[in-house]
Amino acid sequence: MTEGKLVTLERIAALFSWTWIIASIAALVFCVMAVGFGAEWTNFLWALGVSLVAKWLARSFERKKIRVAFEAKLIAQGMSPQEAAREWNKQYRGQK
């Protein structure tokens, strides 16, 4: 079950990563068109907004994938899911 969840999270993160890349390129093109050719700035702003949201979502899904793998490893070593979650929170916050 964990393997399937990790694959799904990886695919979703990849989808948003590609969205971020394409939207960033589009934002650059729209910026050049707005500055050089007098096109509307709204296209640039929409592409920039999509790019920023896609980057945020890609990072979030990547972090979630890392957390799922970390907690699954601890559960396989004998911890309860609650203990594994507490250990993740300690590691994530940098506490020892």
| Model confidence at 95: pLDDT above 80 | no
Share of the chain above pLDDT 70, in %: 98
- Which residues in 23-45 are b (16+ Cβ under 10 Å) and which e? bbebbeebbeebeeeeeeeebbe
Mean pLDDT (whole number) for 11-20: 98
pLDDT tier for residue 50 given thresholds of 50, 70 and 90: very high
First-last CA distance in the chain: 30
Mean pLDDT of the chain: 94
Query: What six digits make up the tokens of 45?
Result: 């702003």
**DSSP 8-state code for residue 28:** H
pLDDT at 96: 55
